[in-house]
Amino acid sequence: MATERWVSATKQPTDLPDPPHGLDPGTDPSLGNALRPTRLDEYIGQAELKERLRIAIEAAKSRSEPLDHLLLHGPPGLGKTTLAHVVASEMGASVKVTSGPALTKGTDLVGALTRLEANDVLFIDEIHRLPVAVEEFIYPAMEDLRIDIAVDAGVHARTVTVTLKPFTLIGATTRAGLLSSPLRSRFGLTHNLNYYEPGELLDILCRSAGLLSISAERDALERVALRSRGTPRIANRLLRRVRDYAQVRTGGVISATTVDEALALEGVDEIGLDEIDRRYLTTIHKTYQGGPVGLEALAATMGEDAGTLADVVEPFLLQRGLVARTTRGRELTKDGTDRVRKVIAGEVWT
Ligand code: ADE
């Protein structure tokens, strides 16, 4: 499988804040290709999605067709980009990676699509940020494998039609709600990625430790898994931090105590919350008396970007039952309030 990253797949440096939790959907080196599974059988977790993909891929291959267009949504770090590589590999095709913000003009998309070989995968990360003008080109491309390009103006105006080779578009988004319904309806397969169970994260960590030649006790990796917020990318990042710590402080021994010490240094508490999570919870508690508070007001008080809070910070806190989203805004739950009290009492890092 060939991978070509020929359109900038990373964010525009000026329009996105620094990602918390070390999460940069495009460039986090801890996700490095070395740790990325390339086949469905190597991919751990997301059992339902894998089963759906196995069937769809086998059927498409037996008809010598590309896989139907696939929309993946869910919080960052759960493996959307990895899955695009896996799908391409299973199809015996290449993947070309780009992102919504990188495709600024219709011609960017034309360039991207015309460079695809038959049955290749075009992966568009952050597809909810695709400009409207580009989105319009994508409809006939997805449906009829053609792009209509207007040339000249006035009395000379005419349309040139470019025919495309069969391809699969894989769109990834953290915000399915922001996708227009015409775009959403053109995906034949849609799947929401869920957070991983601790046991699945442990399996991923064991696999990564093997690939990185890290020898660690199983209960040490279990502790990393429990602090990884259900997210493989975070698990692999924390594993590297623990490896560094062990190398410098414990002669390479990775025990449960090593993990506790290394992750305390990283500001990651025993349930995986880090500095920005704790600040989110304590701001609602201290400034807004537990809420409800609107997202924009909360973001302004914290000096953070509202989109980052909504995409990256809140999903795990909601899933963990520490905050609730109501029509009047965000509110701490009883567990959320208990957690803040522990933070204030110094029982977890501040
Ligand atoms: N590395 C990161 N995510 C993974 C996954 N889901 N399965 C195997 N290895 C991974």
10-66 pLDDT tens trace: 333 333 343 455 444 344 444 457 899 999 999 999 999 999 999 999 999 999 999
Cis peptide upstream of residue 292 (ω within 30 degrees of 0): yes
Q: Say whether 174 is catalytic.
A: yes
Nearest of 174, 126, 165 to residue 15 by alpha carbon: 126
What is the three-class DSSP state of 252?
A: coil
- Look at residue 125 in the predicted model and tell me its pLDDT: 97
- Residue of 78, 80, 83 lying closest to 100 (CA atoms): 80
The domain defined by 275-345 folds into Arc Repressor Mutant, subunit A (1.10.10)
Backbone angles phi, psi at 228, to 5 degrees: -100, 15
Q: Is the dihedral of CA 338, 339, 343, 346 positive or negative?
A: positive
* pLDDT given at position 34: 85
Beta bridge partners of 330: 293, 325
Q: What is the DSSP string of 156-188?
A: G-EEEEEE---EEEEEEES-GGGS-HHHHTT-S
Ligand 1 pocket, residue 45 CB under 6 Å: yes
Binding site membership of 44 for ligand 1 (Cβ less than 6 Å): yes
Q: How many angstroms from the chain centroid is the CA of residue 208?
A: 18
- Residue listed under structure tokens 């267009």: 69
Q: Class assignment of domain 5-192?
A: alpha beta
Q: If 0-12 CB within 10 Å is exposed, 13-18 middle and 19+ buried, where does residue 208 land?
A: buried
pLDDT for the residue 218: 94
Mean pLDDT of the chain: 91
Residue 147 has pLDDT above 90, yes or no: yes
d(CA 207, ligand 1 centre) in Å? 8
**Is residue 153 very low, low, confident or very high in pLDDT (cuts 50, 70, 90)?**
confident
What is the Å distance from ligand 1's center to 201 Cα?
A: 8
- Give the start-to-end residue ranges of the domains of the chain: 5-192, 198-266, 275-345
Q: Is the CB of 230 under 6 A from ligand 1?
A: no
State the pTM of this model.
0.88
CATH of domain 198-266: 1.10.8.60
